[in-house]
Amino acid sequence: MEFKHKPVLLKECIEGLNIKKDGIYVDGTLGGAGHSKIILEELKGTGKLIGIDRDEEALRAAKQNLQEYSNVEYVYGNHDDIKRILEELNIQKVDGILLDLGVSSYQLDERERGFSYLGDNELDMRMDKKQKLTAKEIVNTYSEENLANIIYKYGEEKFSRKIAKNICEYRKKKQIETTKELVEIIEKSIPSFAKKNGHPAKKTFQAIRIEVNNEIEPLRKTIEDCIDSLKPGGRLCIITFHSLEDRAVKNAYIQAQGVCTCPKDLPYCICGCEEKGKIINKKPIIASKIEQEENSRAKSAKLRIFEKN
């Protein structure tokens, strides 16, 4: 299958990065290289792009899509390891970093990946196919309490306990193998009045995907590392697609901007508050109505930008 992924908030990200043509930029979630291609056009052959992705198929697609550019360094890895990656490339600091935290259209559509609740596919959900933990292992081995907590925490699903109970009841008879089986269990767990707003399995699938790929826990540290890796005036642009991620990014930015706890009447700060930079947009940037109509993924996308001191 061809790796297709329409970049979300493309114009806004490029403007947010404030690209210098001789700068060094990192696309920490390279994917199909939709954002990266425009970054490279802005660099005009004089700057450098480092493209990171933990999906080897995404990297292969990106290399194909960017074959006309020679100023790209491709890295198979995770953006959570950005400091180590830059160190191995002998790069001290960069001018900008972009993270698009969504799942690509290709990953959703590819049958064997098992990200989508539509169809009858293998329960997998790994962004990195080399890792061991899969969605199948989670639904078949996690305790009822652990499943309920994950579905509630990462999916914000009100019926998490009922879903977890029914998963555990089902697997007493047989192992849960496919997305269709899991969807049927979820649908039976949710009352009809609660099925009006979107697909009933959406929240649970999101929660399991986040658990499989450990998407939330390292995010705060990743943001700190990204900001530390920027040159003065460098920009960090992060696109999120659900409230948990957006909240984590917002809080990490506030912390990095500096939260002074000193009494207001003191002439100077004594609490040790460190100001690493400033938040460029207090409210998240969202896609235009036109983009939302053309690309359904854009409806939930939010962009937050931070500039290093």
Q: Do domains 10-101+216-308 and 112-213 have the same CATH topology?
A: no
Contact 60, 33 (CB under 8 A): no
Single out the residue of 65, 146, 162 nearest to residue 104, CA to CA. Answer: 65
Measure the CA–CA gap between 60 and 75, rounded to whole angstroms. 11
Coil, strand, or helix at residue 133?
Answer: coil
Measure the CA–CA gap between 26 and 51, rounded to whole angstroms. 6
Per-residue pLDDT at 146: 98
Per-residue pLDDT at 49: 98
138-188 per-position pLDDT tens digit = 999 999 999 999 999 999 999 999 999 999 999 999 999 999 999 999 999
- What secondary structure letter does DSSP report for 69? -
Each as own residue / partner, the long-range contacts of residues 289-292 (CB below 8 Å, 24 or more positions apart, any chain) are: 291/8, 291/9
For the chain, what are the domain ranges?
10-101+216-308, 112-213
User: CATH code for 10-101+216-308?
Assistant: 3.40.50.150
46-65 per-position pLDDT tens digit = 999 999 999 998 999 999 99
CA–centroid distance for 94 within its chain: 20
Which pair of tokens denotes residue 7? 């970049």
Per-residue pLDDT at 1: 45
Measure the CA–CA gap between 277 and 103, rounded to whole angstroms. 29
Per-residue pLDDT at 109: 61
Per-residue pLDDT at 234: 98
Q: Which range, 94-108, 114-128, 140-154, 268-282, is most confident?
A: 140-154
Give one DSSP letter per residue of 1-54, joined into a string: -----PPTTHHHHHHHHT--TT-EEEETT-TT-HHHHHHHHHHTTTSEEEEEES
User: CATH code for 112-213?
Assistant: 1.10.150.170
The identity of residue 143, as a single letter, is: S
Contact 32, 104 (CB under 8 A): yes
